[in-house]
């Protein structure tokens, strides 16, 4: 039982004994900095069951707690807030228990624990990954790592959109204009090469549309009658029919793209346990439609199409099978979800990391799976996120104005280098060492800037602002970590002994209280599926450490025990920064 839980139980007992009343719950919070205390009991909610003056009630409960909870030294009451002062010994004992725990705050998953599958990235194979994909990947990866740390088994997956008219557009453009060029012959990453032909298709298609409009066709007529589009549509028909040459070309160009994606994922520091391909899953779900018809979950219209009526759930009627018997995206998503549980029977829930423009789609998908009776459908979640904009404006992939993920990662390292040089942060480093650190700082800045924001909010990403060594930024936190490592290198004495008999400075106590929060923060972030909770906790921890560092002398301490303890405290803060940033997929440099 934690101290907070113990205090809650004692408050309930106090209310029973003093007022013959029962409290359902007790509201606790950290004591505000301007008041003396560590934990505050909020008295106001008790007035529902206790009649009286909140200050007098606080005084009575405070006296009871001091008499009955050994860790509480004293108390004070401010209006309806009972502030409790916790004995230093509690914090010293707590710190001695956790300081050497490897992966402090993490919970090991039980063998009987149901697993969670987290889907993220899920790109199209007709273009490279861009800034929007970066937010998707960072969110999905961080959420998966946080859930894992909270004690659940996690499978990371993605579904690659490797079929459809968009793929055929790149293929037909390469056939016409590619002159057999390859990633090897051009020196381009495969995803970039294929993306160039997607842009090329759009350019040539627009020329054909303009030419048709000039002959008197309407814009809509010209768009549907343009020969280049018809060639792409014919290629799609051939692919679906299994045409040998088309399938061969499709496989070759997709392999180029996959190799390019893997390089980007490696640069970004994300990984996957499994891959699903739309070319394999697009026929899934059709058998489930018949099952749903038999159960009365779906109904057939006069034209033969099959629908699901979700009006009672506040949604619309949704088509799941066209009148010609072909599937829609919803059919495929139903089938893929069911297939994943067949592949991994221990899955108890799934998280889909997809932009907020798909909010309605996932509401419908989850309701249909519930109606079909799958018990795991109660644990489906759409991790919806907002767009990422740059100061220069929105991105358009067809026109080739997308912010390429690889280019952005490189630009971040360059920006980190320029700012570091101005500040003289890496004087005395070799060029190779500088390059490594610039990459770590740049990528850390990018990741932190994106992950510190609530996923649902839209982001205006400013690269230069993100690489600031002051404020709520990745580099500021990384720099504090590196400073701590410098302190540990300077401590040439043995700082492993347990220290239990010193008077704590207020700044030391504040740091231990921050460390005490970490396990709870992991659980909260996992529950909310929000890496921002981890990011902002880490910033608060770093602020508390820097305040400690500026106000309390480490190596000039009055006693050997105090010196040892302050180095230990620094080491634990450093380990927690590294751990928290690890959950966000951010590295920390040992020197800066």
Q: What is the CATH number of the domain that holds 50?
A: 3.30.1360.70
- Structure tokens that stand for 531 in this block: 């890496």
Instruction: Find where tokens 């190779």 sit.
Output: 432
- Structure tokens that stand for 362 in this block: 């996932």
Per-residue pLDDT, 137 = 97
Q: Are 272 and 168 members of one domain? A: yes
Q: Are 169 and 73 members of one domain? A: no
Q: Are 269 and 170 members of one domain? A: yes
389 falls within a domain: no
Which range, of 14-23, 212-221, 388-397, 559-568, averages the lowest pLDDT?
A: 388-397
Per-residue pLDDT, 395 = 40
pLDDT reading at 402 higher than 70: no
190 falls within a domain: yes
346 falls within a domain: no
Domain of residue 71 covers: 3-86
**b/e map of 70-101 (b: 16 or more CB within 10 Å)?**
ebbbebbbbebbbbbbbbbebbbebbeebbee
pLDDT reading at 320 higher than 60: yes
Confidence category of residue 322, pLDDT binned at 50, 70, 90: very high
29 falls within a domain: yes
The DSSP element (H or E) to which 308 belongs, if any, is strand 306-309
**b/e map of 481-491 (b: 16 or more CB within 10 Å)?**
bbbbbebeeeb
Instruction: Find where tokens 């230069």 sit.
Output: 464
Q: Are 175 and 266 members of one domain? A: yes
Confidence category of residue 428, pLDDT binned at 50, 70, 90: confident
Backbone phi and psi for residue 263, each to the nearest 5 degrees, phi listed first? -60, -40
List, for residues 5-21, the tens digit of each pLDDT value.
999 999 999 999 999 99
Contact of 52 with 15, CB cutoff 8 Å: no
Q: Are 273 and 179 members of one domain? A: yes
- From 278, 294, 312, give the residue that closes a domain: 278
- From 278, 300, 328, give the residue that closes a domain: 278
222 falls within a domain: yes
- From 53, 86, 119, give the residue that closes a domain: 86
List, for residues 327-356, the tens digit of each pLDDT value.
899 999 999 999 999 999 999 999 999 999
In whole angstroms, give the CA distance from residue 117 to residue 414. Answer: 36
563 falls within a domain: no
Sort residue 232 into left (φ over 0), alpha (ψ -120 to 50) or beta: alpha
Q: How many CB atoms lie within 10 A of CB 232?
A: 21
Q: Are 174 and 272 members of one domain? A: yes
Q: Give me the number of domains the chain comprises.
A: 2
pTM of the full structure: 0.91
Confidence category of residue 421, pLDDT binned at 50, 70, 90: confident
Report the DSSP pairing between strands 299-300 and 306-309. antiparallel
Report the half-sphere exposure of 543 (CA within 13 A, side-chain side). Answer: 10
What angle is formed at CA 235 by the lines to CA 231 and CA 240, rounded to 5 degrees? 150
Contact of 89 with 3, CB cutoff 8 Å: no
Contact of 11 with 61, CB cutoff 8 Å: yes
51 falls within a domain: yes
Contact of 353 with 118, CB cutoff 8 Å: yes
């Amino acid at each position: 039982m934690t101290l907070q839980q113990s205090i809650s139980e004692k408050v309930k007992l106090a209310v029973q004994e003093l007022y013959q009343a029962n409290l359902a719950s007790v509201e606790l919070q950290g004591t505000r900095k301007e008041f003396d205390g560590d934990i505050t009991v909020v008295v106001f909610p008790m007035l529902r069951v206790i009649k009286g003056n909140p200050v007098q009630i606080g005084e009575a409960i405070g006296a009871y707690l001091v008499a009955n909870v050994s860790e509480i030294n004293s108390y004070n009451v401010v209006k309806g807030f009972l502030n409790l002062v916790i004995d230093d010994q509690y914090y010293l004992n707590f710190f001695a228990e956790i300081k050497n725990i490897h992966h402090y705050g993490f919970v090991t998953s039980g063998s009987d624990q149901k697993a969670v599958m987290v889907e993220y990235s899920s790109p199209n194979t007709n273009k490279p990954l861009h800034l929007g994909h970066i937010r998707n990947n960072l969110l999905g990866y961080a959420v998966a790592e946080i859930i894992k740390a909270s004690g659940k088994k996690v499978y990371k997956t993605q579904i690659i959109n490797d079929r459809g008219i968009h793929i055929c557009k790149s293929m037909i453009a390469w056939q016409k204009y590619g002159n057999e060029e390859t990633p090897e012959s051009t020196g381009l990453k495969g995803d970039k090469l294929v993306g160039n032909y997607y842009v090329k298709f759009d350019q040539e298609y627009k020329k054909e549309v303009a030419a048709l409009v000039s002959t008197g066709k309407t814009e809509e007529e010209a768009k549907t009658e343009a020969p280049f589009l018809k060639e792409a549509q014919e290629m799609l028909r051939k692919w679906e029919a299994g045409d040998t040459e088309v399938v061969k070309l499709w496989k070759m160009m997709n392999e180029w793209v996959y190799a390019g994606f893997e390089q980007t994922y490696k640069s970004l520091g994300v990984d996957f346990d499994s891959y699903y391909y739309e070319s394999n899953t697009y026929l899934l779900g059709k058998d489930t439609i018949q099952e749903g018809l038999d159960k009365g979950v779906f109904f057939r219209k006069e034209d033969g199409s099959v629908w699901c009526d979700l009006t009672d759930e506040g949604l619309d009627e949704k088509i799941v099978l066209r009148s010609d018997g072909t599937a829609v995206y919803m059919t495929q998503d139903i089938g893929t979800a069911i297939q994943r549980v067949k592949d991994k029977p221990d899955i108890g829930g799934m998280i889909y990391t997809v932009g907020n423009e798909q909010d309605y789609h996932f509401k419908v998908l989850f309701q249909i799976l519930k109606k079909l009776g799958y018990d795991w459908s109660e644990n489906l979640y759409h991790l919806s996120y907002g767009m990422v904009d740059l100061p220069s404006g929105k991105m358009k992939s067809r026109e080739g104005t997308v912010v390429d993920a690889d280019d952005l990662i490189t630009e971040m390292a360059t920006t980190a280098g320029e700012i570091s040089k101005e500040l003289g942060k890496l004087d005395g480093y070799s060029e190779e060492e500088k390059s490594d650190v610039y990459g770590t700082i740049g990528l850390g800045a990018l990741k932190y800037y994106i992950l510190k924001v609530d996923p649902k909010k839209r982001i205006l990403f400013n690269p230069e602002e993100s690489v600031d060594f002051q404020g709520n930024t990745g580099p500021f936190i990384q720099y504090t970590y590196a400073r701590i490592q410098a302190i540990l290198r300077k401590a040439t004495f043995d700082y492993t002994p347990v220290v239990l008999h010193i008077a704590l400075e207020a700044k030391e106590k504040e740091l231990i209280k921050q460390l005490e929060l970490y396990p709870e923060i992991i659980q909260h972030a996992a529950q909310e599926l929000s890496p921002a909770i981890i990011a902002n906790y880490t910033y608060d921890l770093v602020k508390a450490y820097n305040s400690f560092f500026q106000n309390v002398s480490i190596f000039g301490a009055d006693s050997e025990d105090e010196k040892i303890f302050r180095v230990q405290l620094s080491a634990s803060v450093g380990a927690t920064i590294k751990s928290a940033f690890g959950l966000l997929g951010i590295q920390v440099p040992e020197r800066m």
